[in-house]
A = this chain, B = another copy of it.
Amino acid sequence: MDKFSLAPAFAATSHPVADMTLCAARLQDDARWPWIVLIPRRMGARELEHLSPANRAQLMDEIVLAGAAVRAIGAALGRPIDKLNVGQLGNITPQLHVHVIGRRPDDAAWPGPVWGVGEAAPYAPDALAAAISAADAPLRQLKSAS
């Protein structure tokens, strides 16, 4: 298996938060929504079917942890989350990745999806630090197994 490397698009739009058992977890640099991107560390994977069944089950576990992280970010920033949105698209960036996004009825795209809506609003430094700090513990719950 080739050594894993992250597609450049992720470095340009998100910040590293945690290395989970399967995925690199990153915070999307868009303060409009608490938003974690999970990238399974498997080179060449573009669809869920390219992961082994065990890896797919692990990915599902990590999606649920990312949901808890998104809720923690929303709470830390004073905007509690009402609904989680999960999406695996990859139409633009083919490397397999899953978006986990916190939604509220007062957000900029509700009730539509967030992808492609308007322009990203990068975090201010203090809010970025608070978001990463809030996300860290939920994302690391499974880190021991590898």
Chain A interface (Cβ < 8 Å from any Cβ of B): 46-49, 53, 56-57, 59-61, 63-64, 67-68, 83-92, 94, 103, 110-113, 115-116
- Nearest-neighbour CB distance to chain B for A95, whole angstroms, equals 13
Kindly report how many copies of this chain are found in the complex they form together.
2
Chain B residues with CB under 8 A of A92:
111
Supply 5 further A-B pairs (C-beta < 8 A) apart from A48-B63, A85-B90, A85-B91. Answer: A48-B64, A56-B60, A83-B91, A86-B87, A86-B89
Question: Helix, strand, loop or mixed for chain A's interface?
Answer: mixed
Chain B residues with CB under 8 A of A68:
49
Chain B residues with CB under 8 A of A46:
83
Contact of A61 with B67 in the complex, beta carbons under 8 Å: no
The 8 Å CB contact of A64, one of B49, B94, B112, B113, is B49
